[in-house]
Amino acid sequence: MKNFRKEIVFQTKNRVEFINITGEVQRAIDESGIKEGLCLVNSMHITSSVFINDDESGLHNDFRIWLESLAPHEPISKYRHNLTGEDNADAHLKRQIMGREVVVAVTNGKLDFGPWEQIFYGEFDGCRRKRVLIKIIGE
């Protein structure tokens, strides 16, 4: 069995962003030479996420509104975590909701998706350098 590891680095301009990383993940699979196996994609930071969904701007706007209603950024004093001098407690909660990672089957060298599925990086405490790990195992 072979394995392949690659990191993607992000530094978003906004506090909250959703970035389609499907193409970068597929390029990693191509680099790996693995034709059959599994591909893990995970955020290496506790205020960002990796998830699968549709690449549709209305849906992404709905995510932003929904997440902000569940865990509003302000008032910052609302969260005990922020009493430590941080201001990102909401980002930790948003990450918990959207998830840490995805695992996708690799079939014949391609991501084996259902209709409309794409892989996204979700940033909830942006403007800092962050990493996503791609780990592929198989033959």
Is residue 100 within 8 Å of 42, Cβ to Cβ? yes
What tokens were used for 136? 């592929």
**Is 135 in contact with 3 (CB distance < 8 Å)?**
yes
What pLDDT is attached to residue 42? 98
Half-sphere exposure of 54 toward its Cβ, with a 13 Å CA cutoff? 10
d(CA 64, CA 48) in angstroms, rounded, equals: 13
Mean pLDDT of the chain: 97
Query: What is the predicted pLDDT for the residue at 101?
Result: 98
Distance of alpha carbon 44 from alpha carbon 25, whole angstroms: 15
Which two tokens mark 91?
A: 């980002």
Tokens for 108?
Answer: 């014949």
pLDDT block averages, 10 residues each, the chain of length 139? 97 96 98 98 98 98 98 96 96 98 98 97 96 98
Class of domain 2-138: mainly beta
- Locate tokens 């922020």: which residue? 82
Q: Which pLDDT score is estimated for 40?
A: 98
Q: What pLDDT, on a 0 to 100 scale, did the predictor assign at position 127?
A: 92
Whole-model pTM: value is: 0.96
What is the pLDDT, as a whole number, of residue 133?
Answer: 98
Token pair 């992000």 is found at 10
Sorted by where each begins, the domain ranges of the chain are: 2-138
The pLDDT assigned to 84 comes to 93
pLDDT score, position 28: 98
| Burial profile 32-58: b = 16 or more Cβ within 10 angstroms, e = fewer | bebeebebebbbebebbbbbbbeeeee
Token digits of residue 72: 């509003």
| Token pair for 119 | 């892989």
